[in-house]
Amino acid sequence: MIIIKTAGDIINFFATTKVKTLTTGFVPTMGALHSGHISLITKAKKENDLVVCSIFVNPTQFNNAKDFEKYPVTIEQDIYLLEQAGCEVLFLPSVAEIYPNGLKTITHFELGFLDTVLEASFRPGHFQGVCQVVHRLLEIILPDKLYVGQKDFQQSMVLKKMAETNFPSLQIVICPTQREAGGLAMSSRNMRLTSTEKKHAVTISKALEYIKNNIMAGYIEDLKKNTIEYLSTQGFRVDYVEIADANTLKPLDYWNGKELIVVLIAAFLNEVRLIDNMIVND
């Protein structure tokens, strides 16, 4: 695997005739890699000639300074896992490479409704930060396909919207959430959980499964309310339990039994904020 640290070197790499003709799959990450990330690399490898992964802990997408400081960094292990998975190029930029004009000169991305609900309302500015970095990475790497995880359901919708206007020929591939044996969605943030907390965190995916298996057409407000209450009694600080149209992310209080819906949860277990989601009727 080649490790490239500057935008100029990536651009030169792709300018060589040998590489120019190859299809490229791109997996953006913030490191602290786990099997979820590796599943994206594996899929990208199957569908492209060349796979590029980036590791960059993006300061502009953290609305909470503590969360940024505590974000796990495991670069040696990440490089090992990427080598094992057969990733060809690792892009490991500095803040100056991604934000050549400084962190304060921020472009605004028009994300509409998606930038007002759920994650956007609990983490103001988060998706603008995500778009800043992904836009810059796409502009440097110019991949054919971008691989993201369904675990960050709203993020994948946001990136689709951003790409529609800015990179119309880019294909976005959304890959299924990878789960631990008990059902806990894999996440870099799980590294911050103690082993007791990790066992307890499974309650979130169990709650999603409960809703998926028990939801019926009709009014669904009580199901949401009861789940919030249940998670609170289990020691979680709930940001939201929402059932939304899976194509628009519009929250629903009534389900006609037909439209494709997704259940989304965000909750703190002590210091660590966890998110997860499940599509009900896929």
Contact between 95 and 61 under an 8 Å Cβ cutoff? The reply is no
Residue 218 CB, nearest approach to ligand PAF (Å): 35
Interface stretch with ligand PAF, choices 22-30, 65-73, 196-204, 260-268 (CB under 6 A): 22-30
- Judge whether 200 counts as a catalytic residue: no
Q: Per rule CB under 6 A, is residue 28 in the interface with ligand PAF?
A: yes
CB nearer ligand PAF, residue 184 or residue 275: 275
Identify the residue among 33, 79, 117, 133 touching ligand PAF (CB under 6 A): 133
What's the closest the beta carbon of residue 58 comes to ligand PAF, in angstroms? 4
- Length of the chain equals 282
Buried (b) or exposed (e) across 179-207, using 16+ Cβ within 10 A?
A: bbeeebbbbbbbebbeeebbebbbbbbeb
**Residue 100 to residue 103: CA distance in whole angstroms:** 8
Judged by CB under 6 A, which of 24, 39, 48, 58 binds ligand PAF? 58
Minimum Å gap between C-beta 132 and ligand PAF is 9
**Among candidates 12, 10, 96, which has minimal Cα distance to 53?**
10
- Binder of ligand PAF out of 134, 211, 231, 244 (CB under 6 A): 134
31 lines the binding site for ligand PAF (CB under 6 A): no
How far apart, in whole angstroms, are the C-alpha atoms of residue 252 and residue 262? Answer: 10
The answer to whether the beta carbons of residues 144 and 24 sit under 8 Å apart is: yes
Report the sign of the C-alpha dihedral through residues 16, 20, 25, 27, in that order: positive
CB of 234 to ligand PAF, least distance (A): 26
Interface with ligand PAF, residue 30, by CB under 6 A: yes
Paired with 150 in beta bridges are: none
Footprint of ligand PAF on this chain (CB under 6 A)?
A: 28-30, 58, 61, 130, 133-134, 152, 155
Known catalytic residues are 37
